[in-house]
Structure 1
Amino acid sequence: MSPSDGLVARRRASPFAASALWKGMKRWLYVFHRWTGIILCLFFAIWFLSGLVMLYVSFPSFRAAERVETAAPIDWGRVHVGPDHALAQLNLPDFPGEMRLDMVGGEPLYIFVTADGRRAVSALTGQETGSVDASRAGVIATAMVQAPVASIVAVDHDQWVVTRAYKALAPFWRVRMADGAATDLYIRQRTGEVVQNVTAHERFWNWLGAVPHWIYFEALRIFQEPWRQTVLWTSGIGMLGAMAGMWIGLLRVRLKRRYKSGSVSPYRGWMKWHHVVGMVAGLFLISWVFSGWLSMSPWGGLRDRGHRDAASLYADARAQFPATDLPGLARRAQDAREVRFGWLGGRPVITLWGKGRPQLLDGVGAQPMAIDQAFVVAAARHAMAGAKLTAVEHLDHADRYWYATGDPRDDNRPLPILRLKFADPAQTWLHIDPATGALLGQTGSGARSYRWLFNALHSLDFPWLLIWPPLRHILVWLLSTGGLLIAISGIVIGWRRLMKG
């Protein structure tokens, strides 16, 4: 055979080799999709059903807004110790990350969040609280819920206080109340703070909602990294399996030259349902699983990097707090349910929280204090030293990055606010309350990308859907129903396949 004859033979053989390679790839594509579907379609069905539950019942939390809402007004007749003496009692090298005055079981208590944990000093005696026994926990719980105690149990963690944040606060007293809601209050044994509250309604629906949706079972969730890897690999493999199914579906669908039956799909029965619905709702399913996978921060996720955290610098705090006109503070804060102490632009300030908007006072004379935009901007510039301020926006309505979804436990985005944009490596935006100067939020370019890649794709909180929430709920139901049909049909197909052997 001449060299030219060999070349011709190779050219003739190459299309056949490419065809064989393509057939082999398709075969493994089918195998991969089939077995990932058999294993994970049940997970998909659970995720869609539990996601619909989460649309109406979120995971329990006890955030600052709810803490203030449920708190009793400060009993100023029992406040004998000023904030300066209370803080000095702890002998801290730096000003605490948070310092506030609350009513805890009928006693005014200064709560401090420090680098070494949370500590408390009685505003009545000036002594640091060492521990809270079960009897005292019952008093605290009764004062908050206005109902008798049914039981008190000591816990380090359980299903509702299982994350790392709660681990730093443990141990707790879990106090079951004899109220109509069968409320459980979790009271920190060291300081007496209520850190979580869960009703029977929330416990029931979260076992059908957030717990299976996040694979949030206590036995796994207490181990942060194993739990994270479980969710990452489960959702990651499921995402690849769904993408393989979408590819197969596109290969098999015929829109113009249809099959003999007149259908766009060659399948029948459950296979046809799986194919057709997969073509309609498959892209949503993939985007939903992708966004859930992204929430687990694969390879570090979309963390903001660059400038140091402005939240820890914005107040420009000194180590101590000056002596405050306590009688004057008591007169102006008669209806306050929480009093917060801090520094703003090098000045000591007090913020009164209760019903309605917070009120800002001078930290020494306890006089009403007004701040202007120039003062806020100067404080922010100082906190973001070395970063150029590129824009100052006054926002009096929700927009793409500052909005509420309607969840009373998760939404804490008041209006109006100031938005300050900086040209640092993270492209930081600061969101500031113009009335109190409080730093309400800090986001960088990574967090803003996460807003679209997770929040928008996973929760459908697009601005145009938030204008009329019922439309968002209808769309979530429709798309979830499509995803559920894909999952259920996949379960049936997979079961039949296994039964055949």
Structure 2
Amino acid sequence: MLLWLKRYLYLSHRWLGIVLCLFMAMWFVSGVVMMYIGYPKLTPQEKLSGLPDMAAERCHISLAQALAATGQAKSPDSVRLTSVAGAPRYIFAYGKKQIAVDAETGNRIDRVTPAQALASAGSFLPTVNGHYLDSINEDAWTHSKALDEYRPLHRVQMDDEQGTLLYISNTTGEVVRDANHNERIWNWLGAWIHWLYPFRGGALDHYAADIIIYTALAGSILSLLGIAVGLMRWRFKGYYKHGAKTPYRNGWMRWHHLLGLGFGVIAFTWILSGLFSMNPWKIFDSTAAKPNLQAYMGGEISPHYFSLSVPEALARFQEAGFHAREIEWRILNSQGYYIGFDGLGRSRILTAQADGRVFEKFAWPELQNAAERLMGQSKVARQSVLSEYDFYYYSRAAHTMTGHIDKRLPILRLEFADPASTWLHLDPYTGNFSKLDAGRRLSRWLFAFLHSWDWLPLLNNRPIWDILLIAFSAGGLLISASGIVIGWQRVQRKLSTH
């Protein structure tokens, strides 16, 4: 029985390896590329730097008039005022739907023409020319779900030194993504392979997520089997007849055995954590009710909270020495505020009443009051103010998967005694909050930590992080490459006997 089990263990590892080692080799190579060049994105700061200062003299349409132009009966989830081709434009979010209204004329924007898309791109990069390419729903650089509410997308190729390709929303007219030539070239070897994007689009698009999940699951099983086989074949006591601990005298089998023992655990944790990145079978989903945004705000976005007009608000920001390029409407504790953002991504808050004042941060009690309403009957079990990053709240480089998310300091952390063990992180600069329940904290360990090694002692001491990840990636690549050679040799032998 034991011999039978060992035989099938060896056979399972062998034939899984023949099928999967090529995928694993691609994952290790592309993972190193992604350490330095991420999938194209337009970060909030990049977007703000491409906008002009808000033209107050052109903001003729009030919030009430713009809301009426949307044709929606319900209150929007969010409202912001930005610039498109130099002209002010309201952007209303209703769930996953975006509605744009011209703040100068009051016209609802139902579609964006190629000429308008070209004008939007020209305003974003005003020192260079661009030429219109086409309109697409999705291509190699726009697979992100975050772009779904902006599709279809116009593509404009700019004639700058970086060869920037801009994507303009047909819904709002905004530039929503940029991808320069360097990013596009390297991403064919990086994220495009790492996330198996060749399976996106076409006949296999519906199955793309399942392909990643089950390929990673099979790769995890392969790695675990390899560790088991490697340990079983290693002589912990004594030596084989040829004087070595491994049964393989030379060649690829010997290297595969030694490399597997040296790097097999790392390979296993990386592939397994890659599986967890997909939230397979929704294992990290929260069972708690979704946050009630209106409960947090203390009301719905309505003109009666904003007696201070937009031109007046922009003038107040200007008087305070702050040049707003975009503003958001915010309600907190049933009081209206304007949140202004400048070209460097900095923010200021303005009370939206006649005696409005500009200030930098909300007070901690204001944020806690709003958070307690959001959580209903759940009580705060612990509260703390974070003035430095920790394991659950930290910042990454802009090119990384979560690097576009602004993680400011200080922030207020509230830990609630609800069934989901919810934590809320509250940003005093904007009044925004993020939710981190037990499932997401588990994902932090099983995906982010194991996959990216984003542990602060390493991230704060580069190039130690770089050296370790490149060295271990090289080890994983060599395991996979030797497996490919061994598999090819075995298949050739099988074919030659028939």
TM-score, with structure 2 as normaliser: 0.92
Q: Which residue does the alignment assign to 2:367? A: 376
Amino acid at match of 1:158: D
Show CA shifts across 1:146-179 (max 9, x none): 2211333111221122344434422221111111
Displacement of 1:196 after TM fit? 1.3
For the 8 Å contact 1:41–1:487, the answer to whether it is kept is yes
Q: Which structure 1 segments of 5+ residues have no match?
A: 1-20
For the 8 Å contact 2:135–2:154, the answer to whether it is kept is yes
Q: Which residue does the alignment assign to 1:292? A: 274
Larger CA deviation: 65-74 vs 381-390: 65-74
- Structure 2: distance between partners of 1:311 and 1:250: 54
**1:363 pairs with 2:357:** no
For the 8 Å contact 2:296–2:333, the answer to whether it is kept is yes
- Structure 2: distance between partners of 1:211 and 1:499: 31
**1:58 pairs with 2:47:** no
Q: Which residue does the alignment assign to 2:411? A: 417
- Structure 1: distance between partners of 2:294 and 2:231: 52
Larger CA deviation: 52-61 vs 181-190: 181-190
Q: Which of 475, 481, 487 matches 1:482?
A: 475
**1:242 pairs with 2:223:** yes
TM-score, with structure 1 as normaliser: 0.91
- Structure 1: distance between partners of 2:382 and 2:10: 53
Q: Which residue does the alignment assign to 2:129? A: 148
- Structure 2: distance between partners of 1:130 and 1:299: 37
Q: Which residue does the alignment assign to 2:421? A: 427
Show CA shifts across 1:78-133 (max 9, x none): 11122233223325333322211111101110111113611111111122122221
**1:438 pairs with 2:418:** no
Residue pairs, 1:161-240, within 5 angstroms: 161-217=142-198, 219-220=200-201, 225-240=206-221
Residues 64 and 218 from structure 1, CA distance in 2 versus in 1: closer, same or farther, beyond 3 angstroms?
farther
SS in 2 for 1:227: helix
Q: Which structure 2 segments of 5+ residues have no match?
A: none
Displacement of 1:304 after TM fit? 2.0
Amino acid at match of 1:329: A
For the 8 Å contact 1:157–1:167, the answer to whether it is kept is no
Residues 221 and 311 from structure 1, CA distance in 2 versus in 1: closer, same or farther, beyond 3 angstroms?
farther
Q: Which residue does the alignment assign to 1:10? A: none
Q: Which residue does the alignment assign to 1:12? A: none
Residue pairs, 1:458-473, within 5 angstroms: 458-473=451-466
Residues 229 and 218 from structure 1, CA distance in 2 versus in 1: closer, same or farther, beyond 3 angstroms?
closer
Q: Which of 128, 132, 141 matches 1:160?
A: 141
Residues 356 and 388 from structure 1, CA distance in 2 versus in 1: closer, same or farther, beyond 3 angstroms?
same
SS in 2 for 1:464: helix
Q: Which residue does the alignment assign to 1:77? A: 57
- Structure 1: distance between partners of 2:398 and 2:42: 13
The count of corresponding residues between Structure 1 and Structure 2 is 480
Q: Which residue does the alignment assign to 2:490? A: 497
Q: Which of 92, 101, 114 matches 1:121?
A: 101
- After superposition, the CA RMSD in angstroms is 1.9
- Structure 2: distance between partners of 1:351 and 1:390: 30
- Structure 1: distance between partners of 2:299 and 2:172: 24
Amino acid at match of 2:423: W
Larger CA deviation: 161-170 vs 281-290: 161-170
Larger CA deviation: 346-355 vs 297-306: 297-306
Residues 237 and 356 from structure 1, CA distance in 2 versus in 1: closer, same or farther, beyond 3 angstroms?
closer
Larger CA deviation: 24-33 vs 153-162: 153-162
Show CA shifts across 1:410-463 (max 9, x none): 342111111111111111111112243222x21101101100100011111122
Higher Rg: 1
- Structure 2: distance between partners of 1:46 and 1:290: 15
